[in-house]
Chain A
């Protein structure tokens, strides 16, 4: 970390009131940075059956900042968050996809808007409580493999990676918790925020019902063509999903396809159904970063990569063909939903990824 005591570097830390970002702020302060805590107000609307905890989160963040004797600011991103993340999410669901709002939030809000404003207000760096490593301009896997969050960060810009500090990247979660207790952060045992607050608490179904007009439609057995029952709206169903079909007992049905135009959901009892398993994935919006080395930038070896198809999923060996945008996996996996991301790694370096097209 920086040791220029005469003129400490300024770092703007995104503080959510949770353990991770609180410990992040303490670590940076103790390392000699001039730390400015920032609460990003992205969402404050209550939803049916769920009170948005933003005011409490804000108070928690401010409490920690106060105890650390650091400056604290509030960046109000509600309008932008709605436009860039929520609208995108709704649009994707309408198309029948299963988007990942956290990926979009990091790309558009935390590592773009927050980054830009922090820089314009005099920051040398930004920092967040993500479990990831930023080293030599490369985004790398976190030491705590169970907590690694690079899956959500793969779309952030090279510039942001270069100027972002992830103090937790080389720590294990239990160490972070212990530090929180040692630092007397009394919110140390507050539950972690898991992705987008409103989705976690209220469930995506309740959220979508607020924004998308849904009409019931038929559930069709793809193998027999028989109509099995009624669903509540095709947007609510994800390919590969097993639960929530209310089709009675017996072997479980899996969602194997959707027809958004006709509002149909196709299901099958056959676990080996072609649509359920795959070794290749077609991507869109692919973003591949170069690997930065002291000797100069090099292209990652796209024929010898590993990838992750969801947060915390094991790394799978794969190759990527940039001509066809196709990933070929070394093993067969249950088909991830369209709209989710495939994230690529060359060794421990996250080199980017893309969004599953179909």
Chain B
């Protein structure tokens, strides 16, 4: 089995699992309980939370622990509750959790456009900020393309606008939130350097457990609680601390941070190899999506224009290769990716787009094999629907095996199905 969907989920690292285990049944106390073992547990929890905060150059009280990135994002958007007329600006390629939170909390939502590589249009950002804009949300790295946004430049633009507002006597705040779910294994997320006011972290994408995340909240940013009760997490998210998951989350984050440069090198090599083999062996030349200069090293989104990526995925699962079209949650609803629409792909290109994301389980051997098999399966499909002639197939199929085909199954009217 070759797993190439690390942007959707990562396996819990054995070391992370080991770290968590004692906190399920041995050291299970409620950290708020009055006796000594619970007090010790509180100490361990806080120490680990501090370690987690340090990975982004923050302090423990700056973090609210949540049940995952979606909840962190929802919490971040509660900042709008204090401003009834507030407008939110989000990047056109944001994840559904940002889009839906914005729609729920903001009176109006504007979208900042991106270029064909998914990179933010900074001029459009500056133009779209109005007097009522309170929150701007830009993921540091997109979950379908891996495109990395220039957050510090965005923060700079925001800083200028804040100064203008002050000078004009406009006291409406302007905050920057970033969803860093995909990024923690490969990018430095120091909040000071990024210039963010709110930052969403996700355990499930850094080889930590699912069901836990965090929101970094810069001092002075006022949010509203998303649950009420015992007042945990500064009263913003009441509920007994999930000690084992936090232990795992922090362990995974610290580990990911220490591996950033090694991981980047490894995935850059994988990526180059993968693109080279896939391009060489495919009859339909793949178009690689995203911004090559500013892209997470483990992302390799590719488009076979004219093919149906879903069919490729079903065929590849038979060959032991697991990958995805766009975001898993959008795909399961049968919707076309808004991310791929935003970068200007045609419907046919969107239908032909795969998302390949590498991770710690992969070896160079796997990357070679996966690229060859994907090319082989893409070639079979191209032949089935008559995108390439039999002669091309015969000429070029020196080292690829083609499956048995029904020669009648390639009449010209059988194009790719469009939903």
Residues of A within 8 A of B (CB): 7-8, 34, 36, 54-56, 58-59, 62-63, 66-67, 69-74, 122
Contact = CB atoms under 8 A, between A and B. Distances in A.
A10 to B, nearest CB: 9
Contacts of A58: 334
A74 B417 contact: yes
Given A34-B409, A62-B311, A71 B403 contact: no
A164 B226 CA distance: 57
B405 interface: yes
B264 to A, nearest CB: 34
B332 A56 contact: yes
B398 to A, nearest CB: 23
Given A67-B315, A69-B403, A55 B333 contact: yes
Given A69-B405, A122-B413, A55 B332 contact: yes
Nearest to B316: A66
A264 B251 CA distance: 66
B332 A62 contact: no
B313 to A, nearest CB: 8
A67 B384 CA distance: 13
B414 interface: yes
Given A34-B408, A55-B332, A56-B332, A66 B417 contact: no
B408 to A, nearest CB: 6
Given A54-B334, A66-B315, 9 more contacts: A7-B408, A8-B408, A55-B332, A55-B333, A62-B311, A62-B314, A67-B318, A69-B405, A122-B413
Nearest to A6: B408
Interface in B368-407: 380, 384-385, 403, 405-406
A34 B406 contact: yes
B419 A74 contact: yes
B310 interface: yes
A69 B419 contact: no
Contact of A63 (B314, B403, B408, B417): B314
A63 B312 CA distance: 10
A113 B383 CA distance: 31
Contacts of A69: 380, 384, 403, 405-406, 409
A62 B333 contact: no
A45 to B, nearest CB: 13
Contact of A72 (B405, B413, B417): B417
Contact of B334 (A34, A55, A71): A55
Contacts of A74: 417, 419
Contacts of B380: 69
B285 to A, nearest CB: 22
A337 to B, nearest CB: 36
Contacts of B419: 74
A63 B311 CA distance: 7
B350 to A, nearest CB: 15
Interface of B: 310-311, 314-315, 318, 332-334, 380, 384-385, 403, 405-406, 408-409, 413-414, 417, 419
Contacts of A56: 332
Contacts of B405: 69
B328 to A, nearest CB: 12
10 contacts: A7-B408, A34-B408, A34-B409, A56-B332, A58-B334, A59-B332, A59-B334, A66-B311, A66-B314, A71-B385
A69 B417 CA distance: 14
Given A67-B318, A69-B406, A62 B413 contact: no
A69 B333 CA distance: 24
Contacts of B417: 71-74
A73 to B, nearest CB: 5
B23 to A, nearest CB: 34
Contact of A70 (B315, B318, B409): B409
Contacts of B333: 55
Residue from A36, A54, A67, A71 having most chain B Cβ neighbours under 10 A: A71
Contacts of B409: 34, 69-71
Residue from B332, B333, B403, B419 having most chain A Cβ neighbours under 10 A: B419
Nearest to B415: A71
A180 to B, nearest CB: 16
A83 B414 CA distance: 30
A7 B311 CA distance: 26
A59 B310 CA distance: 9
Given A34-B409, A55-B334, A71 B414 contact: yes
Nearest to A37: B417
Contacts of A34: 406, 408-409
Contacts of A63: 314
Nearest to A122: B413
A333 B2 CA distance: 61
Nearest 9 pairs between A and B by C-beta? A66-B314, A55-B334, A66-B311, A63-B314, A71-B414, A73-B417, A74-B419, A34-B408, A72-B417
A66 B334 CA distance: 17
Residue from A7, A36, A63, A74 having most chain B Cβ neighbours under 10 A: A63
A69 B315 CA distance: 9
A70 B405 CA distance: 10
Contacts of A36: 414
Given A8-B408, A74-B419, A67 B314 contact: yes
A59 B309 CA distance: 12
Contacts of B334: 54-55, 58-59
Nearest to B410: A71
Contacts of A62: 310-311, 314
A34 B408 CA distance: 8
B345 to A, nearest CB: 20
A188 to B, nearest CB: 15
A353 B284 CA distance: 55
Residue from B311, B315, B380 having most chain A Cβ neighbours under 10 A: B311
A343 to B, nearest CB: 36
A59 B325 CA distance: 13
Contacts of B384: 69
Contacts of A122: 413
A77 to B, nearest CB: 13
